[in-house]
Each structure stands twice: as structure tokens, then as C-alpha cells.
Structure 1
């Protein structure tokens, strides 16, 4: 897992052309006007899910992980709390990898919590269980990009 400001994204591309395409999309797109939904960047190898929502109480959010895609979550506007735990510390609830590349976990004790602000991104790898969309003090409107980069 990585958390950083967008200005520092080059440190985390490590020559990976797909990750570079994802960050190029962030830099070259008018994100405030980008409509919610799925947008292809490089077919199913690199695409973005644009989400707009109110953050929620922690007990309404669940840990998840992915096997075929790296998640790059970028906050366009708003602020939310996220939580991280390695997947070997989580109890499986539902494995839907074949259909949606998502594993859901039973809500466990607190993970490692952190705040993600506007202009920051988090990169989650397959070994990273992550829970997002968590309200900090009260619900907050968030616009977020979830860039999916195939492995």
C-alpha cells in the first residue's frame, strides 16, 4: 500500500507503463466535470470508475481486495478515512474474484486507519485488504477515481 500526494506520483510508477497511463489520465482530464461511471483508458487493462458518494459510518464499510487489478484511489474532492490490513489478517466473507475481481471480508477489528485528502492517492495491491468511504466525523461528499490497472 502507498499513500502520497499527486505531485509525487512518479516515485511510484517504477517503469510500469500501465500505472503511468493511469496517472497521465488523472493529469490530462478535467476531473471535476468527469461523469460518474466506468471510463476506459486502455481497454480492460486500465480503466477508471468515477464515484460520487457520502462517506459512511465504519460499520457500514467492508474490507475488500482484488487479485487481477491494482487499485489506485484518487480523491478529486472531499476527504475520507480508509483502513488497511494485509489479507492474511482478514476472514473471508465472499469470494467473487471470477466475476468481479473482488473478495469481501468479514468486518474485523480496526485496521490501520488513515485520512485521504483531496489531491492524494492510495495504491492497493492484491495483498492489501482495504476499506474505504469511511466518514471522519460526519458524512462528507466525496468524488473519487478508482483506477484499475491490470497485473
Structure 2
């Protein structure tokens, strides 16, 4: 997991071949004016989703404590205040159901090991080994999630 501000995104471009393109796309948008929807960055290899939704309680979000096998998430907070629960996948012991290949998601009944807050202009990179429960907060949260194929 990586947590930082968009101003420092250049430091992480070498982690994955598509990160430079993904961060250029993110930084090239007027994020506050961007409408909810899906946006293609590089075919199906890098796709952004923008959404505005009510925040969840920690309990609601932890009910869908999730991770992905085939994608890395770059989650950018646009507005609101958000906390995200996190735990390394290697420490999770209680998978809920089977891996959903169509949606590229596994859920766990484990509790997060820690929570971290995000402010607008910050991003988190969540790798397949990062189990996470996003959207915890109050009020409305607007964010962009870029799915980058591993």
C-alpha cells in the first residue's frame, strides 16, 4: 500500500508500466467537475470510475472487506473525508465465499488491522495483497478509482 498526495505521484510511476499514464490522466482532469461514470485510460488495462456516494460506517464497509487478484487500485479522494480499513492479505484467515473472477474480488470476514484517513488530493495505491474497506466517513464522498491490470 502507498498513501500520498497527487503532487508526489511522480515518485511512484516506476512501480508499474501503466502508472505514469494513469497518474497523467488523473492529474489532467478537473476532478471536482468530472461527472460520475467510467473513463477509459488505456483500453481495459487502465480504467477509471468516478462516483459520488454516501459514506459508510466502519461496520458497513468492513462487511465487504475486499481485495483483488488481477488489478491494482489507485483510489483518489476528490471531496469529503474518508477513512479506509487495511490489513495485509497474508494475515487474513477468513475468506467469505469464493473469489469472484468476473468482478475480480475476494471478501474477508477478518477485521482491519488499521485505519487511515484521506483528504481531497490524496491517493492510495492498493495492491492485490492489500485487503481494504473504503468509503468510511460521514456525509458524501466523491472519488476516482483507477483499476490497473497487474
Q: Same-fold call, TM > 0.5? A: yes
Aligned residue for 1:144?
143
Following TM superposition, by how much is the alpha carbon of 1:24 offset from its aligned partner in structure 2, in angstroms?
0.6
Aligned residue for 1:95?
98
Unmatched 5+ stretches in structure 1: none
Alignment of 1:111 onto 2:117: no
Following TM superposition, by how much is the alpha carbon of 1:111 offset from its aligned partner in structure 2, in angstroms?
2.1
**Matched-pair contact (CA < 8 Å) for 1:82–1:113:** yes
Aligned residue for 2:135?
133
Q: 1:121 aligns with which of 110, 120, 123?
A: 123
Measured in 2, the distance between the counterparts of 1:99 and 1:93 equals 16
Aligned residue for 1:10?
10
Following TM superposition, by how much is the alpha carbon of 1:97 offset from its aligned partner in structure 2, in angstroms?
3.6
Residues 112-137 of structure 1 show CA distances to partners (whole Å, capped at 9, x for unaligned) of 111011000000001110110111xx
Aligned residue for 2:40?
40
Measured in 2, the distance between the counterparts of 1:15 and 1:109 equals 28
Aligned residue for 1:74?
76
Instruction: Answer with 14-23 or 40-49: which moved more.
Output: 14-23
RMSD (Å) for aligned C-alpha atoms: 1.3
Following TM superposition, by how much is the alpha carbon of 1:84 offset from its aligned partner in structure 2, in angstroms?
0.8
User: What secondary structure sits across from 1:13 in the alignment?
Assistant: helix
Measured in 1, the distance between the counterparts of 2:36 and 2:79 equals 13
Measured in 2, the distance between the counterparts of 1:7 and 1:95 equals 38
**Matched-pair contact (CA < 8 Å) for 2:73–2:127:** yes
TM-score by length of 2: 0.92
**Matched-pair contact (CA < 8 Å) for 1:82–1:134:** yes
